[in-house]
Amino acid sequence: MKPKQLPKDWKEVELGDIFIFQNKTGIKAGEGLEWGKYKFFTSSDIQSKFLDKFNFKGEHLIFSTGGKAGLHYCNEPFSASNDCFVVKVNNKILTKYIYYYLFGKISLLEEGFRGAGLKHLSSNYLKKIKLIYPENKETQQKIVSILEKAEALKQKREEADKLTKKYLQSVFYEMFGDLNKNNKKFSKVSLSGVCEINPKKSELGNNYSKEVSFMTMADIGEEGQIYHITIKNFNNVKKGFTYFRKNDVLFAKITPCMENGKGAIAKIRTEVGFGSTEFHVLRPIKEKSTSEWIYYLLSLKQIREKAEGNMTGSAGQKRVPSDFFDILQIPHPPIKLQNKFASIVEQVEKMKEKQKHSKEHIDNLFNALMQKAFNGELVR
């Protein structure tokens, strides 16, 4: 096949020839704060944490290396967890041009995640990715300026999505009080006493043969999102994967996914699902708990910190053991109050569904602009 011809006055380069990899910080993702002076980047594709100290300043690119492809650009003092590559770029090409180029080809990064269990991105793979660019820096800047305007619109939409989760977290606090103070005076129980932990697949019996939903760790986000569901034949996934049912709560047990907040309510169209072995499954018990209460409880920072403190295993492969839910003592609100909270969550989810069409339109516009930009069609 004849190689695609580059636009006039454009060149091709491997990232390894223009990237300068910075030293790792040794900081864990779980050390991130909800508020702080400086942005703190983790292996998440969303920047939502902060620190009161910084390790880098000036223009850098930040790459997620564990779980799911993520790419960030920063031009202010910041810090990053050990699960990131932090890169400076030589002055031949604008850093933000490279950011947009790779963001538009995020699948190139996704293909580099390898390994059993939680997949990781290697620096050697990253160095071999090829990038095309206009030699003229003014042309690079024109492309960047157009894409910045489109990205600003995209970010406003994403901010609205973040605010909905913060709103529900504030409703959770208002209805159920502070976990540590238990100012609502609810009776305290172990979490495993009010929901079923990792239900057994044997409950399906020997004759189950229906289609099932399938999700990897990369298919769920840190704000409760489900990015992708694959429908599979039961016989193809019944061994070697984690079993769950519709409306069970999925909790990422491996570092750094757990510290980053990965988890979701299994809103699937089949009755049964299977997924990554790095999920714990929590199933609500009728008249004792709801999926919504369990999910938002587990998304609280103090719960994630307790989970991190109970992790076992070697560095890079630490996991929350299932008996953590036996020792986790929490105030247990009445089921009527939990149901009221669930109905509020349902209303917010309906609103988010309506907003989804607006987000898709903006995303499509942004992606179309990027495709034109890097084919040499946006600026001539």
Q: What is the pLDDT of residue 4?
A: 63
Structure tokens at 250: 């999925």
Which pLDDT score is estimated for 2?
Answer: 47
What is the pLDDT, as a whole number, of residue 354? 73
**Whether the Cβ atoms of residue 69 and residue 106 lie closer than 8 Å to each other:** yes
Res 144: pLDDT? 93
pLDDT of res. 216: 93
Mean pLDDT by 10 residues, the chain (380 residues): 69 96 93 92 89 97 89 97 95 94 90 82 94 93 90 76 81 93 95 98 92 94 90 94 98 92 96 96 98 96 94 87 97 97 92 73 80 76
Q: Are 244 and 271 in contact (CB under 8 A)?
A: no
Please count the other Cβ atoms lying within 10 Å of the Cβ belonging to residue 181: 8
- Give the span between the Cα atoms of 87 and 115, in whole angstroms: 23
How far is the C-alpha of 213 from the C-alpha of 353, rounded, in Å? 21
Q: What is the pLDDT of residue 364?
A: 79
Place of tokens 């998304």: 299
